Structure 1
Amino acid sequence: MASATVTSKGQVTIPVDVRNQLGLATGDRIEFILNDETGRYEVVPATRSVTALKGIIRKPAKPVSIEDMNAAIAEQGASAR
C-alpha cells in the first residue's frame, strides 16, 4: 500500500507507483471527490480532452457578428474607465 506524509504547508508527494497508475505527469491536475457511499475521498486525474467540452455551452439563439462583438467589447472598455 502506498502512503505519503502531509507537510506543514499541506503538500503531499504522490508516490511514483500511484502517479503511474493514474497516468499523471508534471503539471497535471487532480480532483478530490467525496464518495458519499464510503465517506472517503477519491483522487482522480482532472485531465480531460478538448472533445469532452463539446456541448458544454449551447449555441446562441441568434448568431453574433464580429461587428457586434467588437461593439460590445468597446462598450465594456469604455464603461470600465
Structure 2
Amino acid sequence: MTTASVTSKGQITIPAAVREAMQVRTGDRVEFVEIEPGRYEFIAATRPVTTLKGMFGKVRKTVSIEQMNAAIAAVAARAK
C-alpha cells in the first residue's frame, strides 16, 4: 500500500509510483469522487472533454437547454 502525508496546508504529494501508473503530470487536474460516505476515489482528469465525442452514438433527438432544465427539475422534484 502506498501512503502520503497531509501538510498543515491540506496538501499531499502523490507518490511517484502512483503518478506514473495514473499518467498524472505537473499541472494535470485530479478529481476526488465520493463513492460511499467516507470513501473517495482519486481520478486523473487528464483527458480533454473532446475525447467523449461519439462515445454514445448518434443523436436521435435534439433537445433544447430549456427542455433539459425542465427534465432535471422534474427529477429533482420527485427525489424530494
TM-score under structure 1 length normalisation: 0.58
CA distance in 1, matches of 2:43, 2:12: 15
Task: State the AA in 2 paired with 1:44.
Answer: I
Aligned match of 1:10: 10
Task: State the AA in 2 paired with 1:30.
Answer: V
Is 1:22 aligned to residue 15 of structure 2? Answer: no
CA distance in 2, matches of 1:8, 1:39: 21
Higher alpha-carbon Rg: 1
Q: What is the identity percentage for the equivalent residue pairs of Structure 1 and Structure 2?
A: 55
Segments of structure 1 that go 5 or more residues without pairing to the other structure are: 61-81
Residue correspondences, number: 57
CA distance in 2, matches of 1:50, 1:32: 18
Segments of structure 2 that go 5 or more residues without pairing to the other structure are: 55-61, 65-80
Post-superposition offset of 1:47: 1.7
Aligned match of 2:43: 44
TM-score under structure 2 length normalisation: 0.58
